[in-house]
Chains A and B, each alone.
Chain A
Amino acid sequence: MIEIKNLTKSFGSNLIWKDVSFRIEDGETLAVIGKSGCGKSVLLKHLNALLYPDSGKIIIDGQDLFCLSYSELRIMRKRFGILFQGSALFDSISTFENVAFPLRYFTDQSEEEIRDNVEQALEMVNLEGAGDKATSSLSGGMRKRVGVARAIILKPQYLLYDEPTSGLDPQTSEEINELIVHMADSLDITSIVITHDMHSVLSIAEKVAFLSEQQLCWFGSVEDMKDSDQPDLIDFITASEYQIKND
């Protein structure tokens, strides 16, 4: 379980958000939504202590993330898998080696075991046989899939997705949404998805956190969101519906 308590973050004099608090139960899929620039990705980076807050806490299974020593933090980070916005694949090595990367350094697996695990992970993301490809030759959707395969290779407890469908066509976005649901179901993973794509939210999430006006404006289930009377959230949903219709 992840508990976020009174998190406040600013960059210099620029306040990103203040007093953000919510809780994610094990096995849930949470979507963090909001306008571009509202600090969604900044929040995601706090969940892995890639950024530190000005004040507040993140408690992960009873451990205060920001009180951990660096060596404890490295152990904690292995419980997370992250799909970064641009996939963050290592461009100097092949697709196979990208997925095998954590296994080579953090496990004692033999070459054969590594090959089996990587092929299994690539199969889960529907990329069988793509291991030999250079990452630079992959399409946007394929890069996201490889990113997911790499994120799940160490069987993490939590999977974080940063804008998984941004820059993708509707069909590929749908495939990625299905992949997120499949990952959550088949691996029993707690997922946190940063997105501004309402179609994704409705497809994958059970809970929603809405960031706006430098604070957490709304938090609740997807069903409750539809009936919410929070004006900023209504505006956001209306704008998204308008965009979906126009698309």
Chain B
Amino acid sequence: MESIKQFGQYSLLLYQALRSVTEFSTYRKNLFSEFVKVGYESIPIIILTGFFTGAVLTLQTAYQLDTDLYPSSIVGSIVGQSILIELAAVIGGLVLAGKVGARISTELGTMRVSEQIDALESMGFNSVTFLVIPRVLAGICMFPILYVTAASMGIIGGIIAGAVDGILPAAEFMVGAREFFYPEDVVFGIIKSIVFGFVITSISCYKGYYAFGGAEGVGNATTQATVLGCIFVILTDFILAAVLL
């Protein structure tokens, strides 16, 4: 029963946000700062995660295919495609559910329990327009850029790991990666990242916006936002794979 109530509340929040999305002047300033916080400030963690995901995947793929049956360039094919279709978006999504999701829910939760959201409303602001829309839009716009960054770094990580470990030279890795490169895989990855951006930011906004109960309440909201963000990344990943592949 509580889940249904929460889903209703979440839907209502999104409906309110959608209705006031045209009030651009209200959230213009916030939108730019959210682009920076969600996008620019996430680049280091995304570079790190993407790079090592590609590197580890190369080492493990080479270990599993340690046979003369396949050309070594197959490692590049598998790593390239795995990163583009799945890993860059999903691992990036899970990392951002922690980093971005936790920040948003904590920020809004603290604003709620310290009456800053009430203060906004009491001044005549639409707090949903002011707080929720820029964060969700930043998620939708910035996650694809972070996906492209993660994917690029994953492939670079794979190339470097392969070359340094003596598994396969960079040129051979690229031959394999190019052989099984389909542009629609990138489109699929971008679609995934847009959906993940929306899911993570909207859930975090919802949990933070309706936080209650002081510091403990904000802590609970942040935990729930992060956990739900991760769960829904995995869930939507499955749904998108089933529908789009």
Question: Chain A interface: which of B46-54, B90-98, B122-130?
Answer: B122-130
A-side interface size class: 20 to 34
A242 is an interface residue with CB less than 8 A from chain B: no
Residues of B within 8 A of A105 (CB): 26, 125
* One of A77, A85, A91, A106 near B122 (C-beta < 8 A): A77
Q: A84-B115, A85-B115, A88-B114 are in contact. Are A50 and B124 (CB under 8 A)?
A: no
Residues of A within 8 A of B126 (CB): 70, 74
Residues of B within 8 A of A86 (CB): 114-115
Residues of A within 8 A of B179 (CB): none
Residues of B within 8 A of A102 (CB): 123-124
Residues of A within 8 A of B121 (CB): 48, 50, 77
Is the CB–CB distance between B119 and A77 below 8 Å? no
Complex Cα distance, B113 from A84, in Å, reads 12
B41 is an interface residue with CB less than 8 A from chain A: no
Distance (whole angstroms) from the CB of B20 to the closest CB of chain A: 9
Residues of B within 8 A of A74 (CB): 124-126
Is the CB–CB distance between B124 and A88 below 8 Å? no
A180 is an interface residue with CB less than 8 A from chain B: no
Residues of B within 8 A of A48 (CB): 121-122
Residues of A within 8 A of B122 (CB): 48, 50, 77, 80, 82
* One of A75, A84, A89, A90 near B124 (C-beta < 8 A): A75
Distance (whole angstroms) from the CB of B177 to the closest CB of chain A: 44
B66 is an interface residue with CB less than 8 A from chain A: no
Complex Cα distance, B120 from A84, in Å, reads 11
* One of A45, A77, A85, A91 near B123 (C-beta < 8 A): A77
Distance (whole angstroms) from the CB of B191 to the closest CB of chain A: 33
A46 is an interface residue with CB less than 8 A from chain B: no
Complex Cα distance, B237 from A192, in Å, reads 53
Give how many B residues have a beta carbon under 8 Å from the other chain's beta carbons. 12
Query: In chain B between 76 and 132, which residues have their CB closer than 8 angstroms to a CB of chain A?
Result: 114-116, 118-119, 121-126
A78 is an interface residue with CB less than 8 A from chain B: yes
Residues of A within 8 A of B124 (CB): 74-75, 77-78, 102, 106
Q: A77-B123, A105-B125, A106-B124 are in contact. Are A50 and B118 (CB under 8 A)?
A: yes
Distance (whole angstroms) from the CB of B132 to the closest CB of chain A: 15
Query: In chain A between 51 and 95, which residues have their CB closer than 8 angstroms to a CB of chain B?
Result: 70, 74-75, 77-78, 80, 82, 84-86, 88-91
Residues of A within 8 A of B125 (CB): 74, 105
Residues of B within 8 A of A77 (CB): 121-124
Nearest to B119 among chain A residues (CB) is: A88
Nearest to B26 among chain A residues (CB) is: A105
Complex Cα distance, B126 from A97, in Å, reads 19
Nearest to B20 among chain A residues (CB) is: A70
Residues of A within 8 A of B114 (CB): 86, 88, 91
Is the CB–CB distance between A90 and B123 below 8 Å? no
Complex Cα distance, B118 from A75, in Å, reads 15
Complex Cα distance, B125 from A75, in Å, reads 9
Distance (whole angstroms) from the CB of B93 to the closest CB of chain A: 27
Residues of A within 8 A of B26 (CB): 105
Distance (whole angstroms) from the CB of A202 to the closest CB of chain B: 27
Residues of B within 8 A of A (CB): 26, 114-116, 118-119, 121-126
Instruction: List 18 other contacts, CB 8 Å, given A82-B119, A89-B116.
Output: A45-B118, A48-B121, A50-B121, A70-B126, A74-B125, A74-B126, A75-B124, A77-B123, A77-B124, A78-B124, A80-B122, A88-B115, A88-B118, A88-B119, A90-B116, A90-B119, A91-B116, A106-B123
Ordered by A's residue number, 16 sampled pairs between the chains whose C-beta atoms are within 8 Å are A45-B118, A48-B122, A74-B125, A77-B121, A77-B122, A82-B118, A82-B119, A84-B115, A84-B118, A85-B115, A88-B115, A90-B119, A102-B123, A105-B26, A105-B125, A154-B123
Which 3 A-B residue pairs are closest in the complex by CB-CB distance? A88-B119, A88-B115, A78-B124
